Amino acid sequence: MLPQTEKMLEDELEKYVTELDYNLLHQKWLQALGEYDSFYEVFDPNIQFGDETVTASISESLLDIYQDLKDFLTAYSLGDEMIMNDALADCVYHFEDSWGQRLVNVLRAVHMLVYSNVDFAKAHNDDEVQPGTGSPEWLDKFWGNNTEEDNNV
């Protein structure tokens, strides 16, 4: 366990993961995970005793963790002792406050995906428009272009 560290600098440390970086990585994760991006949260301290089901995003969870760790590692690699100290203090705080629990929660979902033998290539190809076959099923449902199967349900 890392000891609590007091900040030495008055100013906040520079953030190295920009909003653009985050959004680009988020799109790549969403593209890779597709429909498998959402998972059920097991524990949410805000609704511990309620009946409400909460879902979370694998891509957002991993990117939030990545953002804090990349900011820490980049600041730490500068070699300035005061910046290194404050980077460690921020990292420990964010681990305790948010991404430590988030890491535990998303690990369960990632483990299940890795060992569930999901064929991501097939899952993505099913949603693509094939020449001569019309639009993806979700688009047909959105625009009301029902197929015979939809009418029989």
| pLDDT at residue number 146 | 53
- Mean pLDDT by runs of 10 across the 153 residues of the chain is 85 94 94 90 64 84 96 95 96 93 93 84 54 44 49 48
Q: What sections of 15-133 are H helices per DSSP? A: 19-33, 58-76, 81-94, 100-114, 120-127
- Which helix H or strand E contains 152, and what residues bound it? helix 148-152
CATH of span 19-118: 1.20.120.1550
Domain with CATH 1.20.120.1550 in the chain: 19-118
| Neighbouring C-alpha atoms within 13 Å toward the C-beta of 76 | 12
Global pTM reads 0.71
Given a contact cutoff of 8 angstroms between Cβ atoms, the answer to whether 106 and 39 are in contact is yes
